[in-house]
Amino acid sequence: MKPSKGWRLLGSIKWRVFTACAVLVAVVLGVLWVFQTGLLNTFYRSIKVKQLQSCMQQIIKNIDDPELDSLLEEISAEKQLCIVITDETGFVLHSQKEMRDCLIHRMDALTYVSAYYLTLKNGGAYFEQTQQLWENDKAETAAEPAQTGDGTKLLLYMAVTAQADGSPRFILLNTKMFPVTAAVETLQVQLTWITAIMLVLAFLMALLLSYMVSKPIRRINESAKQLAAGNYQVTFSEGGYREVQELAQTLNYAARELSKVDGLQRELVANVSHDLRTPLTMIVGYAEVIRDLPNENTPENIQVIIDEATRLSDLVSDVLDLSKLQSGAETLQVEVFNLTESIRSLLKRYGKMTDYSITFQAETDAWVKGDPLKMTQVVCNLVNNAINYTGPDKRVALRQTTAANRVRVEITDTGAGIEPSKLNDIWERYYKVDKTHKRAQVGTGLGLSIVKSILDLHPGTTYGVMSELGKGSCFWFEMERQDPPLPEGKE
Ligand code: ADP
């Protein structure tokens, strides 16, 4: 079932990026709202309290300093607070007045004394008092700072300390806390605007980002559709960010490979159908002649039919072998086996079948690791070629040499040789050097590509051909030598 348009939009990269941006904006703004409006008063107050505490610490530290007055003046001006220091009888020793509606400069000696004892009772420091305290003496219940007419609150901090000579000193600090309501209202309006602007920006950002992210993907998608439709020449544009570049490179590689496979398939179909048709035409032709003309029912004519049928059968099995090898469907049955022995037993079969002189020289038996059947096929194909292309002396020579840990097998004929420029091409499928050559009709043109495919599947194996025009060719391959396996029961 195809997803509806709405669902497709929701699943699009544009929508997802926008949602992500919107969530980010919402979280950031939410945190800002809480901190800027809800907690502003709490923050302001705690900053003020900390300020008072640190001033108090500074004064207590310098209580014996002869320059105390100038220090108090400095603190009071800088921090905008009033300072009074008295003795235990309420006698004012130092005083700094910075604010108009100050609380501590309105107190009389008696109030100082009662505040002094209240502070002592509280453990030496007392914080935040309302005006009622001084009227009703209800210190413990009073929690809110005193308020002036315009809503400004007064903070009071008192502490008792002793001078070096032991005489007690009562320090009172008083500062103002301005109302934050106006600031909060301003911030709320600002934040509303910021929220709206940020949402618009998030939307624009989502559009831009999704455009940047999705444009190269859309381009690749277009090309992929063409590839799916069978246009293997299509190229995937590699512009954009790294991931897209890598994707485009992979797809370009895939397209090239598909195009190669497609070309090979066409070539294979064309070649195979051509190669199948020729012997079939011969078979049908000869069979018709034998049917229609009783005199033509000769062993020679029947031999032509048998030869052509054999050629067909060879061709079909070669094509199958090669396609299995090249598609990777064929897995090797690897074992350590006696290569020399397998060549010997192969040549025994030739001895019975041909009137060619096939010789084999081997100093010693060599063991190799590989698929014995496939390696025999390699030697068999090379020997077949040598027989097919050797000179009139009908001689084919096989030689096995060993050096260090390698074994080399050479198959030499005395034929016309191969032109140096063609030495690379002969390993290709269906390649025949001389298409008019009588012998060329014998082969399928697949023998050497089967050899190449099999040898390529054996790691560490090298192969090649040396050829001299008019003198003959020498096909060779080299493999790593292995130790012969121990006879069973002797491990
Ligand atoms: P074919 O079935 O035609 O022999 P191959 O793949 O075995 O196919 O060989 C490809 C071509 O290489 C042959 O058609 C032939 O032209 C050339 N060739 C192979 N072996 C020899 C050789 N021993 N001497 C000369 N030419 C050879």
The answer to whether the CB of 440 is under 6 A from ligand 1 is yes
Work out the mean pLDDT of the chain and round it to a whole number: 84
The backbone torsions φ and ψ at residue 149, rounded to the nearest 5 degrees and listed phi first, read -55, -40
The answer to whether the CB of 448 is under 6 A from ligand 1 is yes
CA–centroid distance, residue 40 to ligand 1 (Å)? 93
Residue 49 exposed, middle or buried by CB count within 10 Å (0-12, 13-18, 19+): middle
Chain mean position to CA 273: 46
CA–centroid distance, residue 378 to ligand 1 (Å)? 13
The answer to whether the CB of 430 is under 6 A from ligand 1 is no
The ligand 1 atom at the shortest distance from the C-alpha of residue 433 is 16
| Ligand 1 pocket: which of 382, 432, 435, 451 to mutate (most atoms within 8 A of CB) | 432
Residue type, 397: A
The answer to whether the CB of 413 is under 6 A from ligand 1 is yes
What pLDDT is attached to residue 183?
80
The answer to whether the CB of 426 is under 6 A from ligand 1 is yes
What pLDDT is attached to residue 10?
65
* Low pLDDT (below 50) residues in the chain: 129-148, 437-440, 490-491
CA 337 – CA 367 distance, rounded (Å): 5
CA–centroid distance, residue 286 to ligand 1 (Å)? 28
Residue 66, token pair as written in the block: 């002869």
The backbone torsions φ and ψ at residue 425, rounded to the nearest 5 degrees and listed phi first, read -70, -25
Listed residue (385, 389, 369, 365) closest to 377, CA to CA:
385
The answer to whether the CB of 418 is under 6 A from ligand 1 is yes
Q: Is the dihedral of CA 339, 340, 345, 350 positive or negative?
A: positive
The answer to whether the CB of 463 is under 6 A from ligand 1 is no
The ligand 1 atom at the shortest distance from the C-alpha of residue 445 is 8
On the CB side of 110, how many CA atoms lie within 13 Å of its CA? Answer: 4
What pLDDT is attached to residue 5?
62
CA 173 – CA 58 distance, rounded (Å): 12
CA–centroid distance, residue 159 to ligand 1 (Å)? 112
What pLDDT is attached to residue 131?
41
Task: Supply the residue whose CA is at minimum distance from atom 21 of ligand 1.
Answer: 385
CB 392 within 8 A of CB 367: no
What angle is formed at CA 467 by the lines to CA 466 and CA 470, rounded to 5 degrees? 165
CA 377 – CA 322 distance, rounded (Å): 12
Q: Is 92 helix (H, G, I), strand (E, B) or coil?
A: strand
For 25, the enclosing helix (H) or strand (E) is: helix 13-33
Q: How far apart are the first and last CA of the chain?
A: 65
CB 210 within 8 A of CB 14: yes
CB 369 within 8 A of CB 334: yes
Listed residue (144, 167, 168, 165) closest to 156, CA to CA:
144
Residue 198, token pair as written in the block: 């940020």
The ligand 1 atom at the shortest distance from the C-alpha of residue 472 is 24
| Ligand 1 pocket: which of 316, 319, 423, 426 to mutate (most atoms within 8 A of CB) | 426
Task: Supply the residue whose CA is at minimum distance from atom 20 of ligand 1.
Answer: 385
The answer to whether the CB of 415 is under 6 A from ligand 1 is yes
The answer to whether the CB of 471 is under 6 A from ligand 1 is no
The answer to whether the CB of 412 is under 6 A from ligand 1 is no
Residue 221, token pair as written in the block: 């998608």
Task: Supply the residue whose CA is at minimum distance from atom 7 of ligand 1.
Answer: 447
CA–centroid distance, residue 349 to ligand 1 (Å)? 22
CA 153 – CA 151 distance, rounded (Å): 6
On the CB side of 410, how many CA atoms lie within 13 Å of its CA? Answer: 15
Number of other residues whose CB lies within 10 A of the CB of residue 170: 25
CA 245 – CA 251 distance, rounded (Å): 10
117-132 in b/e form (b: 16+ CB < 10 A) is ebbeeeeebbbbbbbe
Give residue 163's region: left, alpha or beta (phi > 0; psi -120 to 50).
Answer: beta
The answer to whether the CB of 385 is under 6 A from ligand 1 is yes
CA–centroid distance, residue 260 to ligand 1 (Å)? 24
Task: Supply the residue whose CA is at minimum distance from atom 11 of ligand 1.
Answer: 432
The answer to whether the CB of 433 is under 6 A from ligand 1 is yes
Q: Write down the H helix ranges in 239-371.
A: 242-292, 299-327, 339-353
Query: What is the pTM for the complete model shown?
Result: 0.50
What pLDDT is attached to residue 326?
76
CA–centroid distance, residue 425 to ligand 1 (Å)? 10
